[in-house]
Chain A
């Protein structure tokens, strides 16, 4: 029973990481119709920022999280303004080829700079300890991770649904021409949105170093589950992505523990089943 609870917590924390990894991709796909297979590279950037700051400069882990968020966001913004915005008008195949190339380049660059090995990270003692949650002993880092991701998710929903920034984004997606007609600089707005998605992935990458590890294959290792989240959750839907991430994370972790031989394949069966039942994703159910 205790074991089940801790596996469940592992699943939720993995799901939260998937959410942070995928939300930017979901937003750029839903809003700009851009298939960005290089999105995982932003998670990798965030991971390396945290690892470098902690291991080389001795910066406290907690302070590296905003740094990972900011650096990934800035890289995302610059990349969008310099190259990626040119690809929006291209057909999907061009976008896929371009972005997968970008992912390979990022991976190769990471290998040159940091080497091919796994990056170790020493968490501060308050995160490395086990704490008791309702009588169940759990890793403090898991609880912390879930908390941070949950706060990020709530802030993101508020930003998109309640603020002027969100209203502008929704307007630009609804009718780009009309948005420009009232003076919205849609190009710059999309760059900021793209950067926000990259920053979320960077935060996820930084939080993931401890539980998922970090090496130059990062942009590819979680590409499949991330794409599954986007497909199941429905592109552009924040709540859809959150639910899909959590379901995927919990199911995957549960089956890997329970039946290690077939566990890893269960999520694919889940994907097929979901697509047969709801071809347009969870977000389309309510609509």
Chain B
């Protein structure tokens, strides 16, 4: 079976510093796949290289078998590879609806003319509201995003990513900066997404990782240490040594 997202020997170097040093990943379609690793393991850089935010120094990235290594990020988004960031990336002065609507328009770009009104398209608005409803923000759709609580802003970013209709969605710490009580809510929303959508997420909270991930890749110093099911990872001595370390054992 063709992997939904695959990297072959992917490397990102800054001068002599190797942030990502030859990573082979193969994420199956529909996966719920976590990337974990200690601070500085290169998780975010790996995500950047997968999504095209930084250029790979070596290796290749494949989306559904197609080589996308040389595509810029906007082109990868159109091919169905969307992402969210560790820190919210939103159009802060606009409303939740406008934020999501713009992503809907951008996806439909080929069939629309630039002079079309940005607010008069009922079908696009209806679709944007569906995405917003999916992340439980329907009642806040007409609020400017800067008025929302931080955790709600994180959900807006996910709604924006959904509006690009991704086949593969990469979430860089979707619950970062959100109180623990709310972070599970975010992951429950993610779990409710269509099964055919491939989800890859970077997450620090091991309870969330072992609760929601079906497969886990462990990165250490820019390289893949191991990959497996949550049970395999939590039983792996090396992982416990370098990562879980003295913080004790986390059961799945």
Binding site for B on A (CB under 8 A): 159, 162-168, 170-171, 174-175, 177-178, 180-186
25 A-B pairs with CB atoms under 8 Å apart are: A159-B115, A163-B114, A163-B115, A164-B105, A164-B117, A165-B114, A165-B115, A168-B102, A174-B91, A174-B92, A177-B89, A178-B89, A178-B90, A180-B72, A180-B74, A181-B83, A181-B84, A181-B85, A181-B89, A181-B161, A182-B103, A183-B75, A183-B106, A185-B72, A185-B75
* Known A164-B118, A165-B114: A183·B109 in contact at CB below 8 Å: yes
* Known A162-B118, A163-B117: A180·B164 in contact at CB below 8 Å: no
* Known A175-B89, A175-B90, A178-B89: A183·B74 in contact at CB below 8 Å: yes
CB pair A178 B91 closer than 8 Å? yes
Does B112 reach chain A (CB closer than 8 Å)?
yes
Binding site for A on B (CB under 8 A): 53, 72-75, 77-78, 82-85, 89-94, 98, 102-103, 105-107, 109, 112-118, 160-161, 163-164
A-B contact count (CB 8 A): 80
Residues of A within 8 A of B98 (CB): 167
Interface of chain B, main secondary structure: mixed
Residues of B within 8 A of A182 (CB): 77, 102-103, 106-107, 160, 163-164
CB pair A181 B115 closer than 8 Å? no
Residues of B within 8 A of A164 (CB): 105, 112-118
How many Å lie between the Cα of A168 and that of B98 in the bound state? 11
Which listed residue (B77, B112, B113, B116) contacts A181, Cβ 8 A? B77
CB pair B114 A181 closer than 8 Å? no
Residues of A within 8 A of B115 (CB): 159, 163-165
How many Å lie between the Cα of A159 and that of B74 in the bound state? 23
A194 to chain B, nearest CB (A): 16
How many Å lie between the Cα of A124 and that of B16 in the bound state? 69
Residues of A within 8 A of B102 (CB): 167-168, 171, 182
Which listed residue (A163, A174, A180, A186) contacts B118, Cβ 8 A? A163
A166 to chain B, nearest CB (A): 7
15 further A-B contacts with Cβ under 8 Å, apart from A164-B116, A168-B106, A174-B93, are: A164-B115, A167-B105, A175-B90, A178-B89, A180-B72, A180-B77, A181-B73, A182-B163, A182-B164, A183-B75, A183-B77, A184-B74, A184-B106, A185-B75, A186-B74
